[in-house]
Amino acid sequence: MNEKILDSKNVSVSFRINGELQTALHKISVSIKRGEVLALVGESGSGKSTLAMSIMGLHNAEQTEVTGSITLDGHELIGLTERQFDQYRGVRVGMIFQDPLSSLNPLMKIGEQISEAIVVHDKNAPNLKGHVQRLLTDVGIINPKRVAQQYPHELSGGMRQRVMIAIALSNEPDLIIADEPTTALDATIQAQILDLIKEIQLKKNAGILLITHDLGVVAETADTVAVMYAGQIVEQADVEELFANPKHPYTRSLLRADPSNVSPGEELYAISGTVPALKDMDHSKDLFLQRIPWLSDDVVNATIDEELEVVGDNHFVRGNAWKTFEFLDVTEKGHAK
Amino acid sequence: MWQTILRRILIMIPQIILVSILIFMLAQLMPGDPFYGNLNPNSDPATIERLRHAAGLDLPWYQQYFKWIGNVLHGDLGTSYVVNKGWTVTRIIGQRIWPTLSMGIIATILTYFLAITQALVSARNENKWIDRTFIVWNTMTSAVPSFVFYFIMMVLFVYIIPVFPSSGTGIDDTQSFFVNFFSNLRYAFLPALTIALFSTNSIYQYLRSNLLDQQAQDYVRTARAKGVQIKDVFRKHILRNAFLPIASQIGYSITGVLGGAMFAETVFGYPGIGALFVQALSGRDYTVITAVMLLQGILALLGGLLSDIISAWVDPRIRVK
Amino acid sequence: MSELVKIENLKVYYPIKSGFFDRVTDNVKAVDDVSLTIETGKTYGLVGESGSGKTTIGKVLVGLENPTSGKISFEGQVVTTIKQKKAINYNKDVQMIFQDSQSSLNPRKTIGDIISEPLRSFGVPGKIGAGYDGQRSFEQDKINARVLELLDIVGLPARTVTQYPFQFSGGQRQRIGVARALATNPKLIVADEPVSALDLSVQAQVLNFMKKIQRDYNISFLFISHDLGVVRYMTDNIAIMHNGRFVEIGTTEDIFDNAKHIFTKRLLSAIPSLDVKKREENRAERKRVEREFVQYKNDYYQQIGSYMRAYDLESISETHFVAIKKGEN
């Protein structure tokens, strides 16, 4: 059960913008085992979705350069042709997106949209209707017959996301990528969808790549976590270890910025500045340090090791700043309580 | 659904009344009347007065309106003073409407066919030379007045390469429907093709940008993530969504048939409603003018209704109970 | 504590028309008989799922919509309708911050224009307009001084007055929205999901900032949100909404530590916890609450067809009210 279903090594992604190659993702190495949920967490612009799109081969080939290696169950994905990618998208990898309303074709019945995912890979799929209804039942839809005949706008947000999950599951994939699957949903529905994802993880024994910006979602769902900033992984650890023992300044800053982790009397830690633009990303440095005002220029501009440092059992941190980092305003009390 | 359609039709009644009043008043505002150009300038003013009185032209406008609308409701649109002097307007329109309809239908079909083909090719080849060619073509046809092209087409295909007849409709009342149908096709095709060639621009531009918009939608990404090939995503998903707003336009395009026919029929010597309207305008044959305008008004309302029905039919989101 | 705004028996209905003659056959009860009192300098959380009617209350409160019935008073004056609100320049005192700072700022106007708009409508407030000397100066000078002062308050440099919204990040735009809301020195700000579109770091900036201006200017907030984590951090009192009705009102402690209504419990159990060790426990708790919700919903809701209408609120302490069937507590 410990086989790596997804293994990415030194994946870099660059976009050609105005004729110039700009690096959005720099040497990302992550792996997912069967039955494991890996959460990629970071703010917008961190490159989490870029990695997902590279695994799916959904980048515009003319404007994107992907290097490194991504293997799925041992098969190399980088360098596949469009047609070869079509062979395994939806079969070996299923994907769930953020906004289930816009992600479903408004003019197609739910049943058709699910059966398309099956038929596209097997024209003579037997008992299609039964298969669709079984999938809908699997994702917790009580009246699958009726739902299959409905259009996306006739369903609630939670139901639509269940349908998206049914589509992702339709060919029993080895890997499921969920890109912010609950961000557009209400809290109770979010909890239901996360529980469903956990249930699928147990039942289907697929690997799950969960992309989110929400630390609560990570804590509830992930087995391992990779924290991303500006196209790089800054810290990676098992979920318990990460929340109990965060090392990198970015991880610690995020935890202190989360209102559900800070008592109302205390001030939230507001990270200053913004994520650098793609063209300003110098990946030989720890880019997050620019956003800590009290650090000296020497520390901020120091060139750091490309490899993440092993700081514990399956716990990796980028750079050296974490060794001495302290919040300037107050001590780090109250965090991760 | 049927209830909604019925209600829409009922709402059309006051709309038609309003349109008829407007048209009538417009006709009243036109300078002169049918007698001015057609009478000997030396006629006795008393004679003119008598003629005008006999035609009811000396009554206040609202009385004239009620008289007119009353007659219209009885199917009496009056008598032409100028174009076909002495003929009833109903008879003139009855004779002229079929050529216009046949040409209009052919023109509409060709327009959509050409515009859709161009837009599809453009969207699949965004920013390539073929896309740019179509953009330039459509910009040009919308910038240059259409009658310029009509003359070029006329000269080209009637005189230089005489493949099409020069004037007439090819309809002969003594012949059977089928004979007329095919002979009319030969006459209607050139003006219809000409209208179509030069009126693709709005549909083309709309559809092209729609197609490009739809390609960037999230559901396209979903389909790609299912493993559907790009060309199939285009065929199964993008097309229908992009066509949706165009489909509802088809209803309105009926309205354009008469308007578009005006120049084309005149230039090609194709005696339909459009040419009739131009003749009537220049002769101030206002019984004919009001009748054609009324017809146009009713067509516009019907076109709107048709558009709504089509939208409701093709888009599940606005389906009415 | 003084009472700033009082909402009594507020109803907002949207008619459903049907049949051949488009007659009103039913109503969507977006807000169905709710009452709430807002005190000076406090933050009130209005929590519910999408479609619960929370935004509608916010809109009625700032005068973007008229109520169907009910009464709203502001410092003792009746301001139920938009007309009544206009009559006393109510929006000088009550402003709104929106969720989507991108679309709520006019892209063709400079930041200076955007922030000074309420000043041009209502004049420059005298009390805290420290940027001018209180003498009669030209109105435009006063406005300019106030705009610069506001930019300073929200931490944006003075040169931004001539810039346009697209030149700013999401967090900065949200602060511009706050500056605009603050311009007239309001007493109440209705904040409709002010941070849900923002990243965690930016969200922290905006939340800290809202707390700061509350301390500095004694502003009341009506904080509309579906995010209970943020609501707990920000508010003193909370009203939980479901299907246009309040199901529970109380202090933040009442709600989080002593929730009584099944819907509140359900919402609370859905909050993801950062405590990884407890997640199995939380999941079991969610399942348990869900079962309880199904089993006991008749104790909390009147079933009208498929529509669940919460009972009227019953007091269970001085601050804590719950919608349960009479005699159940």
| Cα angle, residue B110 at apex, residues B109 and B114 outer, rounded to 5° | 120
- Residues of B whose CB is below 8 A from A103: 218-219, 221-222
Kindly state the percentage of chain C with pLDDT values over 90.
41
Chain C partners within 8 Å of A241 (Cβ): none
Q: Identify whether the C-beta of residue B247 lies closer than 8 Å to the C-beta of residue B310.
A: yes
Residue B229 lies in a domain: yes
C3-235: CATH topology: Rossmann fold (3.40.50)
Burial of A63 (0-12, 13-18, 19+ CB in 10 A): exposed
* Strand, coil or helix: A183: coil
Q: Give the separation between CA A153 and CA A101, rounded to whole angstroms.
A: 7
> Per the domain annotation, does A332 fall within a domain?
no
Distance of CA A272 to the CA centre of its chain: 24
Out of A87, A107, A170, closest to residue B240 by CB: A107
Which residues of chain B does A117 touch, with a Cβ-Cβ cutoff of 8 Å? 226-227
Instruction: Choose among B75, B76, B83, B30: nearest CA to B57.
Output: B30
Q: Which residues contact A15 (CB under 8 A, 6 or more apart)?
A: A21, A22, A24, A63, A64, A65, A278
Chain C partners within 8 Å of B6 (Cβ): 20
Specify the DSSP class assigned to residue A267.
Answer: P
- Structure confidence by residue, pLDDT tens digits, A136-186: 998 989 899 999 999 999 998 889 999 999 999 999 899 999 999 988 888
CATH, residue B299: 1.10.3720.10
| Residue A73 in domain | yes
Task: Looking at the complex, report in whole angstroms how far the Cα of residue A87 sits from the nearest Cα belonging to chain B.
Answer: 7
Inside any domain, residue B72: no
**Beta-carbon pairs below 8 A across chains A and B:** 75
Distances (CA, A) of B174 to B99, B101, B102, B170: 16, 20, 19, 12
HSE (CB half, 13 Å, CA atoms) of A226? 23
Where in the sequence is the domain holding A274, given as residue range(s)? 4-323
Residue B16 in any domain: the answer is no
Decide the pairing of beta strands A37-41 and C23-39. unpaired
Quick: pLDDT tens for B165-180: 777 777 777 777 777 7
In chain C, where the domains are located: 3-235, 236-329
Looking up residue A137, the CATH number of its domain turns out to be 3.40.50.300
pLDDT tens for the 329 residues of chain C, in order: 588 999 999 999 988 877 667 777 788 889 999 999 999 999 999 999 888 899 999 999 999 999 999 999 999 889 998 888 888 888 889 999 887 767 788 888 999 999 988 888 888 876 444 444 444 456 788 888 889 888 888 878 888 889 998 888 777 888 888 889 888 889 999 999 888 878 888 888 889 888 988 998 899 999 999 888 899 999 999 999 999 999 999 999 999 999 999 999 999 999 988 999 998 999 999 999 999 998 988 888 988 877 888 989 989 999 999 998 876 55
CB–CB of C43/C234 below 8 Å? Answer: yes
Q: Is B215 on the interface with A (CB under 8 A)?
A: no
C17 Cβ contact partners less than 8 Å away, ≥ 6 residues apart: C23, C24, C25
One-letter amino acid at B125 equals N
The full DSSP string for B130-194 is: HHHHHHHHHHHHHHS-HHHHHHHHHIIIIIIS--S-SSS----TTS-HHHHHHHHHHHHHHHHHH
What's the gap between Cα A112 and its chain centre?
28
Q: Which of A56, A102, A121 lies at the smallest CB-CB distance from B225?
A: A56
Closest residue of chain C to B11, computed from CA coordinates: C21
Q: Is residue B4 part of a domain?
A: no
User: Residue C326, exposed/middle/buried by CB under 10 A (0-12, 13-18, 19+)?
Assistant: exposed
- Is B76 part of any domain? no
Q: Does B7 touch chain C (CB under 8 A)?
A: yes
Pairing verdict, β A207-212 and A175-179: parallel
The total number of structural domains in chain B stands at 1
What is the number of structural domains in chain A?
1
Check residue A105 and report its DSSP letter.
-
Residue range of the domain that includes B226: 89-318
Q: Using CB atoms, which chains have 3+ pairs under 8 A with C? A: A, B
- State both tokens at C116: 């000074």
At B221, the amino acid letter reads R
The interface pTM score, or ipTM, of the predicted complex is 0.87
